[in-house]
Structure 1
Amino acid sequence: MTAPLKHSADITVDVALGDRAYDIVIGRGVLDTLGTRVAALRPGARTAIVTDRTVAKHWLEQTERSLAEAGIPTSRVIVEEGEVSKTYAGLEKVSEALIAAKIERNDLVIALGGGVVGDLAGFAAAILRRGVDFVQVPTSLLAQVDSSVGGKTGINSPQGKNLLGAFHQPVLVIADTSVLDTLSPRQFRAGYAEVAKYGVLGDEAFFTWLEANHADIFSGGAAREHAIATSCRAKAAIVSRDERENGERALLNLGHTFGHALEAATGFSDRLFHGEGVSVGMVLAAELSAKLGLISEADATRVERHLASVGLPTHLQDIAGFAQEGLADADTLMALMAQDKKVKRGKLTFILLQAIGRAVVANDVEPALVRDFLQQKLSG
């Protein structure tokens, strides 16, 4: 697998879900086509844009202009940045604003932002008037390759990540790669963890390509569109086969059982971005796989080495504040993992590795073994 030598034309990835199929449009500058695409998709619809304060400064006016030029009336709902908005209070604010804007069943909600905005706006759309369609306009790398695709929406509970939500597919995803130029290096790195995840869980050739081409992805070269499109194709294929995570889709949670617990332990704060938690979680999953004899130590080290090479945290001790206050003890992390959505009849579900590029769902890992493993890693 090689990177294209120059920026390609816009790329369209189809999410094949029958009469609920939709396109992911990927490319530099595709945000300007939003208005014409919405007008063709929903003639006569009104829209409401949900975004956060930071994204609004960069991209709200351009988004509104694209809609206005297509003759589409719109209103705006602006929330605070970060996980603080993915709460009961945040959902109430957005829902009431959409009602006040008179968004009806035939109208559209537009989620302009990263994963938080997409999850929040999508959940509000799912429950507004028992279901209003929405469009994802992801503005972070993480959202473009992961959270904007597949229809998972929701908010956090104080007891755990994404415990309240609904499956509600978008009708269109517009992934403008030029908007990623405004991300901070840390935000971009966090999103890259989800890109690497697709290679680790199901495509060793892609992982090898990432090892060789990640610098071009970070610098905004042609490899960026290639990596995003490859990631979206991988997720779209899995979602089309298992929309509601009854089987194969669970593989997309590689690193997330550990990662979500770490996010909860750090208070869903900027101490640990979601992608950073996934990075640490993937390394823990690889190391646990090696401990169980599923993969070699060399493969586990290869995963850790690549994530570390781009500046992502790979160990519990890398998490901000760990050295000063301690993150949590093993029992606390086990309790947080027990609240994970993937728990079935009290049993934890882990996504483990049989090889780089071959992940498996494991429902039979002994909790005592996991606790001892975490205690060892916490002792560092």
Structure 2
Amino acid sequence: MALAFKDDLDLLLALKQLKYFWNLPQSQLAILLEVMARQLEGPSQAAPFQEFLRVLTQTPNHAKNIKHLRDELPAEVKAEYLRNADYLETADAHAVYPTSIYRQCDGFTLATKDASTIEAVMSTTLTTTIKIARKVLEPSNHLLYNIYKPLGRCVAVVDDKVDAIYGKELDAYFAGHGIEFKKIVSSGNEADKDIRDVERILVSLKKAGQGRHEPLLVVGGGVIADIAGFAAALYSRNTPYVMLCTSIVSGIDAGPSPRVCCNGFDYKNLYGAYHPPVLTITDRGFWKSLHPGWLRHGVAEIIKMAVMKDLSLFELVEQWGPKCLETKFGTVGDSVNDQAFQDVCDLIVGKAMEGYVRSEYGNLWETHQCRPHAYGHTWCPGYELPSGMLHGQAVGTCMGFGAYLAMKSDFIPEIECQRILKVISDCELCLWHPIMEDGAAIWRSQVAMIEKRGGNLAAPIPRPLGESGYLNDLSEEMLLQRLQEYKSICLSYPRQGRGVEEHCTEVGLADPQSNKIAPPEDRFVVTPTDLMITTLTKTQDMAAVGEVVRMLDGVDGMVVKYSTQPSEALRNISVQTAKTNPNWAEMEKKGATSRLLEAEMISGQAEGQLLQLLVKFGRVKKVLDIGTFTGYSSLAMAEALPEDGRVVTLERQEEAAKMAAENWASSPHVGKIESRVGEAQALLQALASQGESFDLVFLDVDKPGYFALYQTLMETGLLRVGGLLAVDNT
């Protein structure tokens, strides 16, 4: 049916909603009738409906559903309505009892006679609308009015920076139309894009009494689009939302995207859901207040669609990209009155949006990985956050590298590769960043991406320029080689391939790696940790260090006294280790050990409890314990692991490793522990060659060798991306 109205999409939108006639607010039905009259008969025929709507919205009943009018109907008409409602309960429950008017589902189920096997197919239909509009907050613009006036109120999540600039206009718009406006202001920084920020929004929605029949309004850029959209997906499992985009990133990419998400464990967009907005509004007018660096990094999302989907769009960006940046897409200076250039800006934004939506909405749940809009997003998710780069700047490096790989794969000729790199550079985006020197980290990023993409790399690259291709095989050796080749090419470009204002901190945003954990403002208790920090801060001599050690002794005793008591097997290790203390000197004399070992080297109860907490809270499954000694730390962590967990523990002293094995023998967790004996560096290299990586590494060996061991762990990828390194410093 939709194709019949392809030339009148406003009429199609009205007709889609009429299916839910009985559940529409009275004023919403009046709005739909006015739209239909205007589209079918012209403005003159719409005038009576406009007047009716004006009068209706002045009454308290305008927000009540049409079905509430049934009691006012003649008896025979009411009876017919009730019969129809009974029929719809089984024929199409969406029409009579919809959760919201924007989504419906269906299913088909088959079962054997004894119901021992059941097969089912389920489908979901979502409806969404995208509008590229101007002056959205002017009272005469009814895009937001048509949604929220019938509901009587609007709950909104608003970017804090947007609220500082446009907050009064937002307030005035809703107040002027008599719509209750509840505003939740949230940070739009990349540094504030984790699960805790999503949870804060969820709590605010609960306090506001958000319903699943009323779309949440989300106002802001890419970060707010991601975290507020994710909150909407989680809230009551599915709450519709409207996205008012105020940045270029949200306006053509994150805003209409069905992929809503937040960061986690230093990995970009680790958590997420598929939940598109029911309406996306992009208004270039908001872009005039953007920092040039924010605008610049958003252009990367236009370039990616041009390279992968639309050669004519690429040619527009080649010609007009620098001027679009200079004029903030026609929102400042003389460009505001240059109608020809205004049309160019609208065309660039519209084409980028169309290409993105055609790619994204046909593969809503990423059921396959032929995703052209993921160009520039294969390797950089692993280094964007650690580098502190703006998202678009990181994407620039990845797009450039992808173009080079396309050339080396004979997907595009050299001249097209040069055109792509030049456009990225001309738009002052980054082609190369020093963090890309860490080839091992980029390889780990590729491995993680293959996991995410269902076992395929499926790296989108042009084939040819303006069309999509995919690279699925790239060995570690070839990846590292191509990176070095690509670097040498980037050095010949302006700024040696670097971008302008590459990092979040350079454009006034917080570093995404900044530490957000802070004590409550009302905290007044002075803890032992406070005392140690204060003393160490003032440390000028060893006397002060001694004071800290005395504090630690007291804290350690308190922890042991009030912590959960260790298992019998762990207590036995402590006892056996203490008993053997006189024997270590003898073993050293005989050459059985290469150095003097002491019972005090045991991890012990307090440290063991901490290690168990790290394992449980981090949901760790694979542990590398460097320094077994008599086996306390290995067994402590093994006890905290799930049944399929594993500890690999390394020990240089054969006698100590033998004692550890004897100590573990009586524990039911012994099967989780694998002991290896030898020099740490050699054992680490062997593990790396076997492709091992660990969620948690505990380092407790000779302190002078820590730095070399740390370097090996990082360079070989033995500590996975987002993993935890715990170090014993005593």
Alignment of 1:87-102 (within 5 A): 87-102=194-209
Output the CA distance in 2 between the equivalents of 1:55 and 1:341.
Answer: 37
Superposed counterparts of 1:1-380, under 5 Å: 20-32=126-138, 36-41=142-147, 43-44=150-151, 46-218=153-325, 219=327, 220=330, 221-222=341-342, 223-247=344-368, 250-266=371-387, 269=388, 272-316=389-433, 322=434, 329-340=438-449, 343-377=452-486
Q: CA deviation at 1:33?
A: 6.4
Compared CA separation, residues 353 and 342, structure 1 to 2 (3 A): farther
| Whole-Å separation in 1 of the counterparts to 2:446 and 2:487 | 16
Cα distance, 1:50 vs. partner? 1.4
Deviations along 1:175-233, one digit per CA (max 9) or x if unpaired, are: 11110001111111111111111110011122112211224423214122221111111
The secondary structure found in structure 2 opposite 1:36 is coil
**C-alpha separation between the residues in 2 aligned to 1:310 and 1:34?**
36
C-alpha distance in 1 between matches for 2:194 and 2:140: 28
Change (3 A) 1:45 1:82: same
Letter in 2 for 1:305: K
Shift in alpha-carbon separation, 1:165–1:345, aligned structure 2, 3 A: closer
1:284-342 per-position Cα deviation (integer Å, ceiling 9, x unaligned) = 100111122222222111111111112111122xxxxx3xxx55510112113333377
Task: Tell me, yes or no, if the aligned pair for 1:258 and 1:284 is still in contact at 8 Å.
Answer: no
CA distance in 2, matches of 1:296, 1:306: 16
2:419 is matched by which residue type in structure 1?
Answer: R
Partner Cα separation in structure 2 for residue 313 and residue 184 of structure 1:
17
- Matching residue's letter, 1:239: E
After superposition, the Cα gap between the structure-2 partners of 1:315 and 1:353, relative to the gap in structure 1 and judged at 3 Å, is same
Larger gyration radius, structure 1 or structure 2: 2
Q: Letter of the aligned partner of 1:52 in structure 2?
A: D
Over 3 Å counting, the alpha-carbon distance change for 1:81 and 1:108 in structure 2 is same
Task: Kindly indicate whether the alpha-carbon contact (under 8 Å) linking 1:34 and 1:66 is maintained by their aligned counterparts in 2.
Answer: no
Alpha-carbon displacement from aligned partner over 1:71-98 (angstroms, at most 9, x marks no partner): 3222122222311221011111111111
- Shift, 1:239, TM fit: 2.9
Which structure would you say has the larger RCO, counting Cα contacts within 8 Å and 6 or more residues apart? 1
Structure 1 residue 169, shift from structure 2 partner:
1.4
- Range with greater deviation from structure 2 (75-84 or 88-97): 75-84
- Cα 1:249–1:20, aligned 2, differ >3 Å: closer, same or farther? farther
CA distance, structure 1, for counterparts of residue 476 and residue 240 of structure 2: 41
Q: Aligned pair in 2 of structure 1 residues 274, 341: CA closer, same or farther (>3 Å)?
A: farther
- Letter aligned with residue 171 of structure 1: V
Ranges in structure 2 where 5+ consecutive residues have no aligned partner: 1-8, 17-101, 104-124, 331-340, 492-730
Distance 2:243 2:448 in 1: 28
Structural RMSD (CA): 2.7
Structure 1 stretches of 4+ with a deviation exceeding 4 A read 14-19, 375-380
For the 8 Å contact 2:424–2:430, the answer to whether it is kept is: yes
Secondary structure of 1:340's aligned partner: helix
Give the number of aligned pairs. Answer: 357
Amino acid at match of 1:104: G
CA contact (8 A) 1:203 1:358 kept: yes
Deviations 1:2-59 (A, max 9, x none): xxxxxxxxx98x9999953222221331243698334433521532221222111112
Task: Note closer, same or farther for the CA distance 1:212–1:80 as it changes in structure 2 (3 Å cut).
Answer: same
- Alpha-carbon distance in 2 for matches of 1:30, 1:236: 22
State the one-letter code of the partner of 1:298. Answer: I
Output the CA distance in 2 between the equivalents of 1:22 and 1:34: 23
Rounded Cα–Cα distance in structure 2 between residues aligned with 1:345 and 1:239: 18
Is the Cα contact below 8 Å between 1:114 and 1:143 reproduced in 2? Answer: yes
Question: What CA distance in whole angstroms lies between the structure 1 residues aligned with 2:284 and 2:415?
Answer: 34
Provide the C-alpha distance between the structure 1 equivalents of 2:360 and 2:167, rounded to a whole number of angstroms.
Answer: 30
Q: Is the 8 A contact 1:137 1:174 kept in 2?
A: yes
In structure 2, how many angstroms separate the alpha carbons of the residues matched to 1:346 and 1:248? 10
Mapped partners of 1:341, 1:129: distance in 2: 32
Matched residue type, 1:372: Q
Give the drift of 1:154. 0.7
Q: Is the 8 A contact 2:406 2:462 kept in 1?
A: yes
* Identity fraction in percent: 24
Distance in structure 1 (CA, Å) of the matches to 2:154 and 2:450:
32
TM-score computed with the length of structure 2 as normaliser: 0.46
Q: Is the 8 A contact 2:252 2:353 kept in 1?
A: yes
CA contact (8 A) 1:286 1:300 kept: yes
Q: Is the 8 A contact 1:47 1:103 kept in 2?
A: no
Output the amino acid matched with 2:445. L
**Closer/same/farther in 2, CA of residues 378 and 147 from structure 1, 3 Å limit:** same
Conserved? CA contact 1:34–1:67, under 8 Å: no
Distance 2:357 2:152 in 1: 27
Q: State the 1:112 CA deviation.
A: 0.8
Distance in 2 (alpha carbons) for counterparts of 1:278 and 1:94: 28
Change (3 A) 1:249 1:29: farther
TM-score for the superposition, normalised by structure 1: 0.86
Of 273-282 and 347-356, deviating more is 347-356
On the 8 A contact 1:32/1:66 being kept in 2, the answer is: yes
Distance 1:33 1:235, change over 3 A: farther
Q: Letter of the aligned partner of 1:22 in structure 2?
A: T
8 Å Cα contact 2:404/2:486 also seen in 1 = no
Which residue is 1:5 aligned to? Answer: none
